[in-house]
Structure 1
Amino acid sequence: MRLGLNLGYLVGSEDPGGQLRLVRRAEELGFDTVWAAEAYGSDAVSVLAWLAGQTSTIGIGSAVLQIPGRTPTMTAMTAASLDLLTGGRFRLGLGVSGPQVSEGWHGVRFDHPLGRTREYVAIVRSALARETVSHAGDHYRLPLPDGPGKALKLTIVPPSERIPLLLAAVGPRNLELAGEIADGWLAVFHAPEHADDQLAAIKRGLARSGQPDRDFAVVPTVPVVVGDDPQRCADVIRPYAALYVGGMGSRKQNFYNALAVRMGFADAAAEVQELFLSGRQRDAAAAVPYEFIDQTSLVGPPSRIAERLAVIKESGVTSAALLPFGRTVEDKLAMITAVREAYPG
């Protein structure tokens, strides 16, 4: 198992120079990949290109590029360009986002996400293979059948023979799809205690792909707070967990809330969601069970974190993407350094 770094996305007036310091330190520490996200603020591509120009060895990954925000061929162009500019360091992470962002920000209906993703990945793969792209599906048609457009081929050659393509997935059907059509899984709130069912879904997808034993990356984002008291460390992560479990979606459709329910936290998930959606975010954060955070994060002193990393590794994780929580950049630098020292592997 390797270590990685997840930057999330730029928030408010956050200084991007701090992110660069973190990435350069992660590169010094031998981290595998730095991942950048996007929602409806900073986009991942600009951040990754900026970081790539100021690093030399660390992998550069999107976690994720939003499928509703780009055509599949635009994503292929972006992936090929970043791979070319970084000398083969790019990893393409994709996700459907959620109904609020897809429909509210991008103006794209959040319907048939599995079918859309399947077609989207097929087009991206075809373009990156430098095939003449032609697709007649339920969700995408290239070229359009009733106009002057013609089938085209990507004009640049990325150095990677196959750019790694990973899918963000939470539900069982999405996990099966990831196993079938992707090279890896970008996980969130990954708990080793509940990983067997998720990995079983991926294995079903791998079997359906006809290559059940092929290499497949398992890359969870793992929140980190280093300190003497695990309970107090967990308090720092509570607002983040409450945002996802309580606020990422509606009462009827929240993938992260459903995940918490499958993990055995149904009553707490309902309470967190009710409090969050009624505007009581602080109370929602306080209602997140410590056990949920402890199972999905690294909290406590380095010795405890080392023990937990061993458990994460045994659960099938290939790269743990650390998401450090700290008030300052110095705090975050100290945390990723402490985790690296606690995990010499």
Structure 2
Amino acid sequence: MSEEAGARALFDKFGTYILPGRVNDPRRGIEEAIEAERIGLGCVWISERYALKEPAVLAGAVSEATSKIRITGTFYATMRHPLVTASVANMMQAMSGDRFRLMFARAVPAYMKMLGAPAVTMERLADAISIIRRLWAGETVNYEGILGKFPAIKLTDKHDGSTPPIIFTAIGPKSLEFAGTHCDGVLLHPFVSPDGVRNSTRIVRDAAEKAGRDPMSVRIYHNIIVAPDLPPEEEAAVVRGRAITYFELPGFGDMIVDINGWDKAVLDQIRAHPQIASLNGKPADQAYTRQELVEVGKILPQKWIDEGAAVGTAAQCADQLMTYLDAGADEILLHGSSPKDMGPLVGELKRALAAKGL
């Protein structure tokens, strides 16, 4: 029986977060991964949130519950010894049959400071990536530097399959250049518009070329909030409420606006709102639910929603998602909706992909 039109492109180009946001029951993530694979998506992405969303544990559970879907786990590089991170990824490849991808995120500096953890600087991250790759290559690593002193670290038992791709989440020019220089892929931030994708892709691939790498070997992943066929109040929480947790952050919000060429004055309005101003620098994501930020979200211009997310009917969302592929994204991470609610969207994505000859 021949494969349905657009199905292979869907698997190659679309994935989804499991357990987005705060979590009460992590077992739901396994059900979401099974459903994502059933409807034809090609990857599940796992973020790191301390308490009930530990990516090493959840990735292992997902690898046993699924058979072909790719698994991307997010880690803060300074929270684990490099040998531990290298070992987790090494074992995940062995457990999953080479389906694992390792992603590093920088986190909000204020959050890392609250934890008493070193900031995830570019220097620390570059050294961590170098050490991990050397460990995967079977080397005994003798390192002394910004990460500490490791006289002789080695993976005693190495998985014989492929090494995991290393992806980095990036927004601003420096982090995009870092990804092009050091990583196998880059995950763009939610609410980066098609123009922002083009700008980001150019920065990443120029940096790769300057580093003597094949520019096209660095994959561009884009993280997009999707809200297909949702009731208005749920759509407002999924899109506008979630958006505020990004735009209110000093630095993060500014970089998104800069890469898109949007009006920065809107950020001042968001940060001056009593709900945000009263936080005194604490991230809104740690203080409010998405529903509680809907009122602040009304400040966002409709243009930002239209260009930075995929909202409306399933068909409208699918057509909007195609514009990000056209702008340079190699793979899209669907965020904000659960796999159980994505059936109509997946059908429309296969239609749109087939129409493009993919």
TM-score, structure 2 length as denominator? 0.83
Name the SS of the counterpart of 1:134 in structure 2: strand
Q: For residues 213 and 72 of structure 1, what CA distance do their matches in structure 2 show?
A: 27
Q: Deviations over 1:280-321 (max 9, x none)?
A: 944322112222222222111132223212211111111111
Deviates more, 1:302-311 or 1:127-136: 302-311
Could you say what the CA RMSD is over the residues aligned between the two structures, in angstroms?
Answer: 2.5
Say if 1:52 and 1:232 are closer, same or farther in 2 by CA, change over 3 A: closer
Deviates more, 1:315-324 or 1:271-280: 271-280
Question: Which runs of no fewer than 5 residues in structure 2 stay unpaired?
Answer: 1-11, 279-291
1:1-345 equivalences under 5 Å are 2-9=13-20, 11-13=22-24, 15-41=25-51, 42-62=53-73, 64-105=74-115, 107-110=116-119, 113-143=121-151, 151-189=152-190, 190-227=192-229, 233=235, 236-246=238-248, 248=249, 253-263=250-260, 264-275=262-273, 276-279=275-278, 281-325=293-337, 330=340, 332-334=341-343, 336-344=345-353, 345=358
Q: For residues 294 and 317 of structure 2, what CA distance do their matches in structure 1 show?
A: 27
Whether contact under 8 Å (2:199, 2:259) holds in the other structure is: no
Cα displacement (A) at 1:96: 1.9
Q: For residues 345 and 142 of structure 2, what CA distance do their matches in structure 1 show?
A: 45
Say if 1:235 and 1:37 are closer, same or farther in 2 by CA, change over 3 A: closer
Say if 1:282 and 1:227 are closer, same or farther in 2 by CA, change over 3 A: closer
Name the SS of the counterpart of 1:35 in structure 2: strand
Name the SS of the counterpart of 1:83 in structure 2: helix
Cα displacement (A) at 1:235: 5.8
Cα displacement (A) at 1:220: 1.4
Q: Deviations over 1:102-151 (max 9, x none)?
A: 1112x12327x1111111111111111111112233344322xxxxxxx1
| Count of residues paired in the alignment | 326
Q: For residues 134 and 65 of structure 1, what CA distance do their matches in structure 2 show?
A: 23
Name the SS of the counterpart of 2:298 in structure 1: helix
Name the SS of the counterpart of 1:222 in structure 2: strand
Say if 1:152 and 1:109 are closer, same or farther in 2 by CA, change over 3 A: closer
Question: Which runs of no fewer than 5 residues in structure 1 stay unpaired?
Answer: 144-150
Q: Deviations over 1:82-119 (max 9, x none)?
A: 111111110000112121221112x12327x1111111
Name the SS of the counterpart of 1:223 in structure 2: strand
Whether contact under 8 Å (2:172, 2:259) holds in the other structure is: no
Whether contact under 8 Å (2:227, 2:235) holds in the other structure is: yes
TM-score, structure 1 length as denominator? 0.85
Seq. identity, %: 21
